[in-house]
Amino acid sequence: MKRKKNLVEDNATLIALSDQPEQTYGSMKMRAAPQENMNLFSDGVTRIDFVLVWEESVNPLKSAESDEEAASSSPDTHRKWRTEFLSRLQTAGLHQETKEVVQGKTRTTYVLLSAPWNILCYYAEEISLRVPLQVVTTPISNWSENVLDKLHIPNIMAQDVPNLPLDYYTCQFRSNKLERFLGHENKDTFFKPTQRHQILYEILARTPYGELKGGEVGVGRLVSEKVFSAAFPLHEGPFDMPTTPVDPQSLNMRQILHHYWARWACWRKYQPLDHIREYFGEKIALYFAWLGFYTGWLLPAAVVGLVIFLFGVWLMVTDVPAEELCSSEDAFVMCPLCNICSYWNLSSICYTYKAGLLFDNGGTVFFSIFMSLWAVTFLEYWKRINSILAHRWDCSEFEDIEERPRPEFTALAPKTVRNPVTGAEEPHFPERQRLRRTLTGNMVIILMISMVLIFLMGIILYRTILSIIIYRSQNAFFIFSAGRIASLTGSMLNLVVILLLSRLYTYLAKILTQWEMHRTQTKYEDAFILKVFVFQFVNFYSSPVYIAFFKGRFVGYPGNYGTLLGIRNEDCGSSGCLIELAQELLVIMVGKQVISNVQEFIMPKLKGWWQKRKLKPGPNKEVDVESDGKMELGPWETDYRLLVCEGLFDEYLEMVLQFGFITIFVAACPLAPLFALINNWVEVRLDAQKFVCEYRRPVVERAQDIGIWLTILQFISYLAVFSNAFLIAFTSDFLPRLYYLYNEGSMSGYINFTLSVAPDNWNQSQTTCRYRGLRDEKGKHTLDYFHLLAIRLSFVIIFEVFI
């Protein structure tokens, strides 16, 4: 039965704990002794669970303004919302303490929040927090460590990380069964800091500050409206190691993560996943588990790709057709590449043709098969690892049983409906209304994809027009390299367009997904990820797909060239489309990786420097000064100087797009896995440093897997089989070479076989010229063309069936 949602604030009496002890399960041994906690109120006892911050100008003229002007000003509205929000938090039972810091003309106010025991218990049961029943004594095994141990090979990846978090049998918290849980005697440490953060965020996210119908609810909206500058939980102390030697067991968790994980010296060590999960939660831990697993699996792919590339280097020296082409001098006079271009000798592309052998050779077929099998096997083994971690971390049933509605959904849903299983009233949003909103969002996706295709057409025309301009320049050097200059600059321009459109669409997708009102965080993120990935897939892969499968297919032949908007259709370069595809992949994939890594390394430092400079204490600020003369800042001030954690979406998207490049188009660039491996070694440390050192601490989120990203990876792995089959069959020279070798018994004369003679009198010049294609002197396809077409199609079918 559906009901209109009650908009009145819930002031019901919280739970009363039972005083009667009950029989306990398992061991009642306490958890490991916690580290000394410096995140406390002024009384030295009350824990700080969350911090709210806002800044306002210290303007002495403000008080002289009229009440009417103040009432209509934005700061006054913000002050009203802020006061109402803090008042409701106090009514909800949260303890508050205010700290003010004056820095020049800016006053920064910090509100420290803490939840008392009864509030923690109420919301722990409300959001189904899991608490420990008994310690798990089963040792954690690592397959690679076990293999190396059996082979008596030293394991350079192992390290002894202190304070390993204990593993527990857990269940959902129930206040009437408190006596059954481990550590219930100590109310200060029963709930972990991350669980306290979850509870505080739940309260903050569902507390209204104005009209619910207007969506005036939750701290997220207040931060976006600049009512609060920030809202965050505190880190557990500094990340720097003490200057004097100390017992590793006395380090806080942040110091452990920095010393044993985030430092560059740890690049070859196992990641301390249990420590990451303890400090950042399952969602972030699963991301780093997947990233580390993916990086490890890239190693064999990179080695095989490097061997294939070296095989191409050997072919550059020994290939018979390449030697024929380079020694042909003026034997093959080629037709002009554009309407104003001149005739040219095929021997002039000797070095370019040889360079093409690096990417287009017989080893490419083997590598394509290898990578197709690699992708499928990698995903299957990841599912196994994911299941092991989800079971160990008690989140294997999170989405089906434990996951609660999003706080924003709970606050904004117009109705409630009784759950037929639990009997509880739950927020509800009509499916018909959500469907209409989803369809509207899909129209925006189609519009943005159309925009990408328009830009692609523009870049195609740019390359053609630039080539014509260069040919008219009368500069011999530029004329010789016109095609390569147009292709390379077109790739770089395409990369710029890709990055700009990505930012625009990600912003739009976020607004649309919030508007669709998805019930759980998992469904919200899946919808957002799917929107962005569909766009990014077209955005990043449209140009490589065009080069691989369409460029040069509709050129025609001398005397009957195809045109687009009056301009002759773009043809592949003199050395073929595959080397252009390899160039495009390297520019987009490696270029994006370099730009991303530079941004991830430099931008956080620049933003952090600016934030610290902006918050530099002014002359009016009273500060504590240590004996060495340095100012002693409170932990809330120190953490406010850090950057906002931007989540995992961009990190996953970067890796998934990379996975697409090294699988979908791997036939064109066997070095792609090697570049990906090098990038990911850097990526793991950069991401670790960001989360440990440069980001404010994120609120913990539970997850049982990597979400819809796994489905996307599976889609890419299936698509890679089709893509590589068509690449080898229709873009590579592998099958034409094999066909010629089978018919002739040797590769001598292959260059002449691939060239056709232009029809007589196709232009006013009487020069006989050649062009790429299997056509007769009238421009009709030869019998060899149809034989080869049958072989290409047969190869695609065989490749699909057996791979």
DSSP type of residue 781: B
pLDDT, greater one: 522 or 48: 48
Is residue 363 packed enough to be buried (19+ CB in 10 Å), middle (13-18) or exposed (0-12)? buried
pLDDT, greater one: 454 or 472: 454
Assess contact for 357 and 732: CB atoms under 8 A.
no
CA–CA gap between residue 526 and residue 654 (Å, rounded): 16
Candidates 129, 130, 124, 134; CA nearest to 171 is 130
CA–CA gap between residue 782 and residue 755 (Å, rounded): 12
In the predicted structure, residue 282 carries a pLDDT above the cut 90:
yes
Residue 613 confidence (pLDDT): 67
pLDDT, greater one: 538 or 283: 283
Least confident of 259-263, 264-268, 388-392, 600-604: 600-604
Residue 407 confidence (pLDDT): 66
Show the tokens assigned to 388.
Answer: 């092991």
In the predicted structure, residue 520 carries a pLDDT above the cut 90:
no
CA–CA gap between residue 338 and residue 597 (Å, rounded): 40
In the predicted structure, residue 64 carries a pLDDT above the cut 50:
no
Assess contact for 233 and 699: CB atoms under 8 A.
yes
Least confident of 31-35, 327-331, 340-344, 384-388: 31-35
In the predicted structure, residue 110 carries a pLDDT above the cut 90:
yes
C-alpha distances out from residue 456 to 460, 491, 540, 547, 759, Å: 6, 11, 11, 11, 33
Show the tokens assigned to 434.
Answer: 């959500």
Candidates 780, 784, 752, 777; CA nearest to 333 is 752
Candidates 677, 672, 604, 606; CA nearest to 644 is 604
Residue 294 confidence (pLDDT): 96
CA–CA gap between residue 752 and residue 578 (Å, rounded): 20
Residue 562 confidence (pLDDT): 78
The SS3 call for residue 282 is helix
**What integer is the mean pLDDT of 498-518?**
80
Share of the chain above pLDDT 70, in %: 85
Confidence tier at 8 by pLDDT (50, 70, 90):
very low
Report the run of H or E that residue 241 belongs to, with start and end.
none
Candidates 336, 1, 13, 404; CA nearest to 172 is 404
pLDDT, greater one: 389 or 576: 389
Confidence tier at 71 by pLDDT (50, 70, 90):
very low
Q: How many CB atoms lie within 10 A of CB 88?
A: 15
In the predicted structure, residue 479 carries a pLDDT above the cut 80:
no
Candidates 230, 213, 231, 219; CA nearest to 81 is 219
Q: How many CB atoms lie within 10 A of CB 222?
A: 23
Residue 244 confidence (pLDDT): 86
Residue 425 confidence (pLDDT): 66
pLDDT, greater one: 20 or 758: 758
pLDDT, greater one: 53 or 559: 53
Confidence tier at 481 by pLDDT (50, 70, 90):
low
Confidence tier at 533 by pLDDT (50, 70, 90):
confident
pLDDT, greater one: 766 or 553: 553
CA–CA gap between residue 45 and residue 117 (Å, rounded): 13
CA–CA gap between residue 787 and residue 370 (Å, rounded): 28
In the predicted structure, residue 765 carries a pLDDT above the cut 90:
no
Is residue 630 packed enough to be buried (19+ CB in 10 Å), middle (13-18) or exposed (0-12)? exposed
Least confident of 74-78, 88-92, 112-116, 487-491: 487-491
Confidence tier at 402 by pLDDT (50, 70, 90):
low
Residue 25 confidence (pLDDT): 40
In the predicted structure, residue 74 carries a pLDDT above the cut 80:
no
Q: What is the pLDDT of residues 153-196, one digit of tens each?
A: 888 888 899 999 988 999 989 999 999 999 889 998 899 999 99
**What integer is the mean pLDDT of 683-689?**
92
Q: What is the pLDDT of residues 638-660, one digit of tens each?
A: 999 998 988 898 899 889 999 99
In the predicted structure, residue 97 carries a pLDDT above the cut 80:
yes
The SS3 call for residue 264 is helix
Residue 386 confidence (pLDDT): 94
C-alpha distances out from residue 538 to 158, 159, 535, 541, 778, Å: 41, 43, 5, 5, 39
Phi then psi dihedrals of residue 344, to 5 deg: -150, 155
Assess contact for 57 and 78: CB atoms under 8 A.
no
In the predicted structure, residue 203 carries a pLDDT above the cut 90:
yes
C-alpha distances out from residue 441 to 215, 355, 429, 447, 531, Å: 20, 46, 17, 10, 9
CA–CA gap between residue 473 and residue 648 (Å, rounded): 49
CA–CA gap between residue 416 and residue 427 (Å, rounded): 4
Q: What is the mean pLDDT of the chain?
A: 82
**What integer is the mean pLDDT of 328-332?**
86
Q: Residue 293 corresponds to which amino acid?
A: F
CA–CA gap between residue 735 and residue 727 (Å, rounded): 11
Q: What is the pTM of this model?
A: 0.83
Residue 487 confidence (pLDDT): 72
Residue 611 confidence (pLDDT): 64
Assess contact for 428 and 413: CB atoms under 8 A.
yes
Confidence tier at 732 by pLDDT (50, 70, 90):
confident
CA–CA gap between residue 517 and residue 448 (Å, rounded): 22
Least confident of 79-83, 716-720, 774-778: 774-778
In the predicted structure, residue 731 carries a pLDDT above the cut 70:
yes
Beta 415-418 vs 2-4: how paired, if at all? antiparallel
CA–CA gap between residue 607 and residue 588 (Å, rounded): 26
C-alpha distances out from residue 339 to 215, 669, 755, Å: 62, 32, 20
In the predicted structure, residue 751 carries a pLDDT above the cut 50:
yes
**What integer is the mean pLDDT of 736-740?**
93
Report the run of H or E that residue 98 belongs to, with start and end.
strand 95-103
DSSP type of residue 504: H
Residue 631 confidence (pLDDT): 56
**What integer is the mean pLDDT of 136-151?**
82
Angle at 620 between CA 617 and CA 623, to 5 degrees: 60
CA–CA gap between residue 120 and residue 78 (Å, rounded): 29
CA–CA gap between residue 132 and residue 130 (Å, rounded): 7
Burial 764-787 (b: 16+ CB within 10 A, else e): eeeeebbbbbbbeeebeeeebeee
DSSP type of residue 211: -
In the predicted structure, residue 15 carries a pLDDT above the cut 60:
no
DSSP states along 436-455 = HHHHHHHHHHHHHHHHHHHH
Candidates 159, 58, 148; CA nearest to 107 is 58
Residue 76 confidence (pLDDT): 82
